[in-house]
């Protein structure tokens, strides 16, 4: 057998054969091709060498004492490895059943006996191409894994910053507000806030940006800023005789215009905006594509949906919204929520939580106030879902003492 010199490759090979002469010839041939070669006389010896790792190619005879080539290939495929080991089987058999059995054992290619250097060289070139592809794929997977890790860290940071923008529980005279936010496994676009744009009014809202991810989170930050500015502008510019419902609808209209000017993002948001007249004890609610608020009047514990929805924010510039007036006397409760609550699916059956369960939960926790409603909702929905939420779960509770 002549030893044809080939281009060197940076691969490590293990040659396995119980015939000392053939083993020596195989080692010499593969060394001539640039392989770093080790030899073994049977499968058991070969497997012991493989435990040290680092081999890329195994060329093995089929029939050997103690452990034959077929058992060796099965053992190679069964062991954990950082790199793929390409297995070439030397065999005198060309029977279909035997070749199928060898392939099922994990053999990648065959070289028939008597051995011909040209054929073995061709099989090794095929192995080198496959291993090059495997190496490229492994490198790409490592790069993707590193990129995914960095993205995950960035999303965690963004999620923390997003939650940090949510206001803490706060009281405005006899009115107390408290929020509950459980993020989905993604950075999302739910947001809520409450603030006093003037001595007379208390503004509060809950909004839900369409979609998930960084774009939705960034849009949520911009929307929060624009809605705050729109509220200040409209409330401070209102005349003394303007009704809260008219002011509230003007705020939503101004915010819609501002939101559209943020750019062609393709995103929109649903919103329920409230403006409470602290002197009169009545609130005006504007729904823009958002689920209805739930209201329990003073002296009652049953929550009923209030408000009629209009178009979401960011759809068309010339849109009109109506406001619903809600009396907020001492003892009254008002709850705003995102559809992440009502559409939260049971982790086992896939059943949605629904508005009726939420209303019953609020009824049962009525004696514990806004803080109790938020805490009870958080615990109940975590138990209902039994895992990561698919959408942000957000609730804003208002009570008048």
Question: How does pLDDT run across 53-62, given as a tens digit for each residue?
Answer: 789 999 999 9
**Cβ(368)–Cβ(399) below 8 Å:** no
Tell me how far apart the alpha carbons of residues 217 and 391 are, in angstroms, rounded to a whole number. 13
Q: For the residues 28-53, what does the mean pLDDT come to?
A: 92
> Would the pLDDT of 182 be above 50?
yes
Q: End-to-end distance of the chain based on CA atoms, in angstroms? A: 99
From residue 297, alpha-carbon distances to 20, 282, 378, 395 in Å are 95, 11, 23, 18
Least confident of 182-196, 340-354, 357-371: 182-196
Which pLDDT score, from 0 to 100, does residue 162 have? Answer: 67
Which segments of the chain belong to CATH 3.40.50.2300?
A: 12-139
| CATH topology (fold) of 12-139 | Rossmann fold (3.40.50)
Overall pTM surpassing 0.75 (yes/no) = no
From residue 274, alpha-carbon distances to 29, 149, 182, 246, 322 in Å are 83, 40, 22, 12, 12
Q: What are phi and psi of 387, to 5 degrees?
A: 175, -165
Which pLDDT score, from 0 to 100, does residue 213 have? Answer: 67
Tell me how far apart the alpha carbons of residues 288 and 209 are, in angstroms, rounded to a whole number. 12
| CATH topology (fold) of 165-400 | Phosphatase 2c; domain 1 (3.60.40)
Average pLDDT for the chain: 90
Mode of pairing for the β-strands spanning 304-306 and 293-296: antiparallel
**Cβ(314)–Cβ(268) below 8 Å:** yes
Q: What percent of the chain has pLDDT over 90?
A: 70
> Would the pLDDT of 12 be above 70?
yes
Which pLDDT score, from 0 to 100, does residue 398 have? Answer: 98
Which pLDDT score, from 0 to 100, does residue 6 have? Answer: 44
Which segments of the chain belong to CATH 3.60.40.10?
A: 165-400
Question: How does pLDDT run across 117-156, given as a tens digit for each residue?
Answer: 899 999 999 999 998 888 888 788 888 888 878 867 776 7
Structure tokens at 165: 């923008």
Q: For the residues 276-294, what does the mean pLDDT come to?
A: 96
| Cβ burial 1-37 (10 Å sphere, 16+ → b, else e) | eeeeebeebebbbbbbbbeeebbebbbebbebbbbeb
Question: How does pLDDT run across 321-348, given as a tens digit for each residue?
Answer: 999 999 999 999 999 999 999 999 999 9
Which pLDDT score, from 0 to 100, does residue 31 have? Answer: 93
Which pLDDT score, from 0 to 100, does residue 207 have? Answer: 95
């Amino acid at each position: 057998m002549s030893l044809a010199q080939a281009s060197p490759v940076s691969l490590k090979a293990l040659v396995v054969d119980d015939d000392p002469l053939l083993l020596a010839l195989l080692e010499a041939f593969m060394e001539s091709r640039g392989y770093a070669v080790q030899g073994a006389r049977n499968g058991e010896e070969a497997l012991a060498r493989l435990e040290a790792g680092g081999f890329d190619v195994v060329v093995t005879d089929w029939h050997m004492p103690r452990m034959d080539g077929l058992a060796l290939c099965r053992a190679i495929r069964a062991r954990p490895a950082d790199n793929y080991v390409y297995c070439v089987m030397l065999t005198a058999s060309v029977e279909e059943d035997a070749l199928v059995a060898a392939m099922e054992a994990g053999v990648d290619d065959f070289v028939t006996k008597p051995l011909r250097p040209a054929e073995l060289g061709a099989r090794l070139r095929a192995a080198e191409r496959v291993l090059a592809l495997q190496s490229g794929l492994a490198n790409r997977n490592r790069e993707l894994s590193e990129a995914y890790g960095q993205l995950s860290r960035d999303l965690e940071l963004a999620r923390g910053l997003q939650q940090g923008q949510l206001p803490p529980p706060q009281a405005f005279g006899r009115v107390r507000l408290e929020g509950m936010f459980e993020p989905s496994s993604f950075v999302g676009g739910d947001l809520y806030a409450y603030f006093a744009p003037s001595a007379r009014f208390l503004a509060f809202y809950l909004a839900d940006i369409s979609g998930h991810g960084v774009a939705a989170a960034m849009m949520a930050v911009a929307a929060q800023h624009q809605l705050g500015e729109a509220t200040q502008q409209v409330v401070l510019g209102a005349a003394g005789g303007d009704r809260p419902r008219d002011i509230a609808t003007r705020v939503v209209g101004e915010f819609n215009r501002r939101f559209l000017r943020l750019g062609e993002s393709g995103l929109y948001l649903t919103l329920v905006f409230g403006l409470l007249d602290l002197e009169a004890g009545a609130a005006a609610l504007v729904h823009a594509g958002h689920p209805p608020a739930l209201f329990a009047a003073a002296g009652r514990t049953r929550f009923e949906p209030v408000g009629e929805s209009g178009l979401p924010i960011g759809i068309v510039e010339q849109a009109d919204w109506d406001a619903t007036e809600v009396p907020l006397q001492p003892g009254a409760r008002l709850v705003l929520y995102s559809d992440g609550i009502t559409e939260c699916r049971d982790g086992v059956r896939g059943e949605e939580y629904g508005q009726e369960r939420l209303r019953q939960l609020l009824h049962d926790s009525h004696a514990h106030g806004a803080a109790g409603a938020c805490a009870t909702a958080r615990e109940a929905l975590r138990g209902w879902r039994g895992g990561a939420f698919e959408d942000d779960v957000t609730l804003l509770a208002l009570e008048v003492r």
